[in-house]
Structure 1
Amino acid sequence: MSIPKNILLYIFLFVGINTLIGQTELPNVVYINVDDLGYKDVGFMGSTYYDTPNLNTLATEGMVFTNGYAAAANCAPSRACFMTGQNTPRHGVYTVSPSARGHKKSRKLIPTKNIIHITSEIQTLAEIFKSKGYTTGTFGKWHVSNNPLRDGFDVNFGGNYKGNPGKNGYTAPYNQLPNLDIAPEGENLTDRLTSETIKFITQNKDKPFFAYIPFYTVHTPLMGKTKLVNKYKNKQGSNGQNNPVFAAMVENMDTNVGKILATLKDLGLEKNTLVVFTSDNGGIRAISNQTPLRAGKGSYYEGGTRVPLIVKYPKIIQSGLTNNTPVINLDFFPTFMEVLNINSINQDLDGVSILPLLKGKTINERPLFWHFPIYLQAYNQKEDDGRDPLFRTRPGSTVLYKNWKLHHYFEDGDLELYNLTTDLGERNDLSKVNPTKTKELYTMLKSWRIELAAEIPEELNPEFDSNYKPKKK
C-alpha cells in the first residue's frame, strides 16, 4: 500500500523539525583549563593579591565547587584523565616522563614505567562531541599525544607533545607551536590563543561546538607584561603570594577569559553554552602559596590536587551558588555524555556525572582515588612542604572519603590519615590514634587498586643508598 504524498511530507517535516530542536537543545561547551593555577590563586577563592575581576564575575554567574580536584598532581596525567575519563592506572600516564625522577641513590624502588601518551584506542572527549555533530577545537597546551587532530579535534592552535611554551616562552616568535608560526614579534601567547578561540566561536556560532582552551599560562617560564608587573611591584602581597611577574600572568589570563565570555554574550550564545573554568593541578608552592593547603604541584597533599572550579550553564544552573561536594576532573566525561544524551560507550570510566549537582540536587557520596607509583623530585627543598625535602612525590596511593584522607606509601608501607574537616593543612596524622578509620580507608584503597589492576612497584633499586645526602646548593 502506498503512503499519500501529503502524509510523507508531514513525516518529513516532523522528523526534520524535531532534529533541529534536538540540535538547539545541545549546548556549546567551553572548557578553560589553566596550567598550574593554584586553588587560591584567584580572587573568588580568597586571594587578595591577584586581581581576577572577570573570574570573580563568572563565579557569581555560575556554581563554585570548593572541593574541586584534579585526578593527578601534574600536567600530563591530569590532562590524560580529563580527556579519557579514566584514572591513571587505566591509561598509564602517571607523570611527565621519566617516572624515575630525582637522584638514583635516593630512590628505594624501581618505579612503574610511565606511558608518555594516551593510545589511539582510547576514546577522547573530543571524539564523543564529534559523534554528536559538534565542531571541536583546542587552543593551547595538549601534552597527551603528538597531535590532537588524531584524537578528535578539527582545529588545533598551539597544541602538541610539549608541556611548556618553549624557547621564547610567551612572546612571539613561538617555538614550533602548531599554527602559530605566523605571528607579529612580541605578541603574547595567551592573547593569541584567545583571539583564535574567539574566531572559532564566531565561525561556529550557528552550530554546536566544543572549545577546549588549555592555556599554557601560568606555567613557567614566568613572563608577565611589563605594565602589569610594575602594577604588582607596587602592591602589597599576602600569605605567600607576592610574586609580581606571576601575578601579571594571572591577571592577563583573567583578562583573556573575560574576552571569551564577552564573545559568548555578544553573539547571543551565553544561555546555551556550558562553561567550565579550572586548573590541571595545584600551583607551585615556591611561586604562590596556597595556605592553608599543604604543598603544591607534584604532591598528593591537598595543595597538589585541589583546584579552583566554576561551572556556568544558565539553562540549568542557578547563579551564585557554592557547592561543597568533592568532584574531580574525571567527572566531566560522564557529565558531558549525559548532557549529550549518550547513555554508554565501550570504555571504562572512573568519574560520575555531576549534572544533578548542577541542577541543585545531590549525588551519592563516593571515594576519590589517586595512584602515583612514580617519583617526582623536589622543586624547592625549602618551600615544597612535602613529606621529605628530596621529593614532592614518592610512590604511593591516596583515597579521600567523607573528608577523611589516607596516604599509603609503597617504599616503607607507611600510612598517613587526616581529617580535612579539622585539619585542612594535613598536619596531624591520625593513623595511629584512629586505627578503625585507617583500616576502613586502607581496605577501600586496596580493593580499588585490585579492581583497576593498578601496578605497585616492588622491585628494589640496587643503587639505593640509605646514607645518601645531596650536596648543598
Structure 2
Amino acid sequence: MVSCYSTDKSNEEVHRKPNVVLILVDDLGWADVGFMGNPVYETPNLDKLSNESLVFNNAYAPAANCAPSRACIITGKQTPSHGIFTVGSSERGNVNDRKLIPVPNTTTLDSSFITIAEALKQKEYVSASVGKWHLGEDPQSQGFDYNIAGSHEGHPKSYFSPYKNEHLEDGEKGEYLTDRLTNEAIHFMESQKEHPFFLYLPYYTVHTPLQGKADIVEKYRKKINGDSRFNATYGAMVESMDSNVGRLLSTIETLGLSDNTIVIFTSDNGGLASVSSQFPLRGGKGSYYEGGIRVPLLIKWPEKIKTFRKVETPVSGLDIFPTLLDIVNDTTSHKTDGVSLLPILEGKKSTPERALVWHFPIYLQSVNPLKEEARDSLFRTRPGSVIRKGKWKLHEYFEEGDLELYDLEKDLREQKNVYTDHPEIAEALYRELQQWRRDHNAPMPKKKNPYYAAK
C-alpha cells in the first residue's frame, strides 16, 4: 500500500485545485458498455456515471493498440513525436507478406517527454500510477510519485494471485487483480484526501488473458447462450471492472471529494473483435476502421458539468493532457498535439472543426480475419495514415497508394468507398494529410521488402 504524502500548502489553496482521476481500461471497446448500447454486458455503475457526465459519442483513441495510444495520452503528443507506433516489433506477420520495410518501432517512452504527472507535479499534485504502464520499466521515472503494478509488461501473467508482478506484492491466493488495483487506488485517495492528487488508474483488464470470476462467467454463459458476438469470460471481466469503478466512485463520495474531483473514464483502443463484436463499427483493436479506434469517453466534474450531455464533436485521447493543463491554469510552454476540451466541459461552445489524424507506418498481423473485417485476411493494419474531418474519413495505404473515403454519417460501418463519387473531398483531405505528415516529420516506409512474395 502507498504511504502518505505531506505538503505545507494550506487547505484553502489546495482545494482550489481539483483532484484528477483518469481511469484507462485496456482494450475496452466502444460497443462493450451499457451506456453505449451493449445489450449483454452489465455496467450499471458506468451507466449511472454516464448520467452524471459528458458522454462523448465520437471519442477516439490516438492509436489502435496499447503502447502507442498510452504514450500519446500521457504526453499529449502524436506518434511521430515519440516513435511508439505499436507493441514490440513493427515487423509483425509473415515477412513474405509485407511489401514494404516498416518504420522501426520504439518501445520505451524517452524521459525527455513531459507527462501529465510531471506537469501536474509543477502544480503541487501528488500522483500515482496504479496498473499497466507499458511505456518503460517504472512510471516513477516519468514523474509519478508512486508506482503500483506498472512495468514494461503489456498484460498480466495472471488475473488471480499469485500475480508474479515485481511491482505488486501478491495477495491471498485467488485474489482478483482488478479488485486489488482498486483497493490500492482507494488507499491512495484516502491517504491524499487533504491534498490535490492525480490518480492514473490504467487497469490491466479487459486485456487477455481472458480470466474472470467463475460465478460471473457462468452467469454470462447462460445469458449469452451461444451467441458468437459475445464472450462469457470477457463479459465477466467487464462486469468486474464496472463493479470496481463503482467502488472507486463510492469512495470519492464518502471522502467528500466528489464536487472537487474530475473523473475521466476511457479506453486505450477499440475492443478486440475476435472476442467481442464492435458492431455497428467495423473491425476492432489494431484496425484503423472505426472499431479499432473509437472508444467510450466520460468526463464527470460536478463543479463545471451540472447536467448530463451527449457531445457529438469528435475528440481524441490526445485532448486529455491539454484539457488538464487548462483546468489547472498551467501557463507554461507545454506543447501538445491535442486541444483543450474545457470550453465544452463548461458548456460555453464547441471546439472549431479540426482534423483528427492517425499515422501507422507499421504492420500488425491478423488474429481472426472473419471478425476483424480488415482489407485482407493477413493483417489488421498495413502501413498507412487516416484522417477524419467532419463526417468524412479518408484512409491511405502506402503499399499501393490506395485511398478509401467514407461518409460516416451515412456509412458508420465503412462499407462503401465513395472516393470516386467525391474526388474533390478526397483530394482535399489527402492534401491536408500530406501537410500534417510534413508538419509532424512523420516517418514513411519507403524501402521495398526484398523477401516479399507477390501473390
TM-score normalised by length of structure 2: 0.96
Tell me by how many angstroms 1:239 deviates.
Answer: 7.9
**Which residue in the other structure is 1:255 paired with?**
243
Instruction: Select the residue among 139, 146, 152 that pairs with 1:148.
Output: 139
2:434 aligned with 1:434, yes or no? no
CA contact (8 A) 2:277 2:371 kept: no
Instruction: Select the residue among 83, 90, 107 that pairs with 2:98.
Output: 107
Counterpart CA distance in 2 for 1:201 and 1:241 is 38
Counterpart CA distance in 2 for 1:157 and 1:24 is 26
Counterpart CA distance in 1 for 2:224 and 2:136 is 41
Q: What pairs up with 1:206-221 in 2 under 5 angstroms?
A: 206-221=194-209
Tell me by how many angstroms 1:237 deviates.
Answer: 6.2
TM-score normalised by length of structure 1: 0.93
Tell me by how many angstroms 1:227 deviates.
Answer: 0.8
Counterpart CA distance in 2 for 1:190 and 1:150 is 24
41 and 240 in structure 1: CA distance in 2 versus 1, 3 angstrom threshold:
farther
Instruction: Select the residue among 274, 299, 305 that pairs with 1:311.
Output: 299
Instruction: Select the residue among 188, 205, 212 that pairs with 1:224.
Output: 212
CA contact (8 A) 1:63 1:318 kept: no
CA contact (8 A) 1:49 1:237 kept: no
**Which residue in the other structure is 1:401 paired with?**
389
Q: What pairs up with 1:58-207 in 2 under 5 angstroms?
A: 58-166=49-157, 169-178=158-167, 180-207=168-195
Where do 5+ consecutive residues of structure 1 fail to align?
1-15, 468-473
Instruction: Select the residue among 237, 248, 259 that pairs with 1:271.
Output: 259
Aligned-partner SS, 2:219: helix
Aligned-partner SS, 2:187: helix
Instruction: Select the residue among 264, 277, 285 that pairs with 1:297.
Output: 285
Counterpart CA distance in 2 for 1:133 and 1:450 is 37
2:412 aligned with 1:421, yes or no? no
2:350 aligned with 1:359, yes or no? no
**Which residue in the other structure is 2:5 paired with?**
none
CA contact (8 A) 1:239 1:291 kept: no
- Superposed CA RMSD: 1.4
Residue 26 of structure 2 aligns to which amino acid in structure 1? D
CA contact (8 A) 1:49 1:238 kept: no
Counterpart CA distance in 1 for 2:270 and 2:319 is 18
Counterpart CA distance in 1 for 2:170 and 2:248 is 22
CA contact (8 A) 1:86 1:351 kept: yes
Instruction: Give per-residue Cα distances to partners, 1:298-348, cap 9 Å, x unaligned.
Output: 000000000001000000012321111100000011100011111232x53
**Which residue in the other structure is 1:27 paired with?**
18
Counterpart CA distance in 2 for 1:174 and 1:319 is 41
CA contact (8 A) 1:117 1:144 kept: yes
Counterpart CA distance in 1 for 2:429 and 2:230 is 38
Residue 382 of structure 1 aligns to which amino acid in structure 2? L
CA contact (8 A) 1:48 1:238 kept: no
CA contact (8 A) 1:281 1:307 kept: yes
**Rg larger in 1 or in 2?**
1
Instruction: Give per-residue Cα distances to partners, 1:382-427, cap 9 Å, x unaligned.
Output: 2211111100000000000011000001100000000000000000
**Which residue in the other structure is 1:447 paired with?**
435
Tell me by how many angstroms 1:22 deviates.
Answer: 3.9
Counterpart CA distance in 1 for 2:244 and 2:274 is 25
**Which residue in the other structure is 1:11 paired with?**
none
Counterpart CA distance in 1 for 2:225 and 2:341 is 36
Tell me by how many angstroms 1:113 deviates.
Answer: 0.4
183 and 236 in structure 1: CA distance in 2 versus 1, 3 angstrom threshold:
closer
Tell me by how many angstroms 1:20 deviates.
Answer: 5.0
2:333 aligned with 1:342, yes or no? no
Tell me by how many angstroms 1:461 deviates.
Answer: 0.2
Residue 404 of structure 1 aligns to which amino acid in structure 2? W
**Which residue in the other structure is 1:280 paired with?**
268
Counterpart CA distance in 1 for 2:107 and 2:441 is 19
Aligned-partner SS, 1:415: strand
Counterpart CA distance in 1 for 2:440 and 2:94 is 30
CA contact (8 A) 1:278 1:307 kept: yes
Instruction: Give per-residue Cα distances to partners, 1:53-79, cap 9 Å, x unaligned.
Output: 000000001110000100000000000
Aligned-partner SS, 1:259: helix
Counterpart CA distance in 2 for 1:286 and 1:214 is 22
CA contact (8 A) 1:91 1:118 kept: yes
Identify the range of structure 1 (19-28 vs 129-138) with the bigger mean alpha-carbon deviation.
Answer: 19-28
CA contact (8 A) 1:239 1:289 kept: no
Aligned-partner SS, 1:191: helix
Where do 5+ consecutive residues of structure 2 fail to align?
1-7
**Structure 1 vs Structure 2: percent identity of aligned residues?**
49
Residue-pair matches, total: 447
Aligned-partner SS, 1:233: helix
Tell me by how many angstroms 1:110 deviates.
Answer: 0.3
CA contact (8 A) 1:157 1:177 kept: no
287 and 432 in structure 1: CA distance in 2 versus 1, 3 angstrom threshold:
same
CA contact (8 A) 1:109 1:458 kept: yes
**Which residue in the other structure is 2:399 paired with?**
411
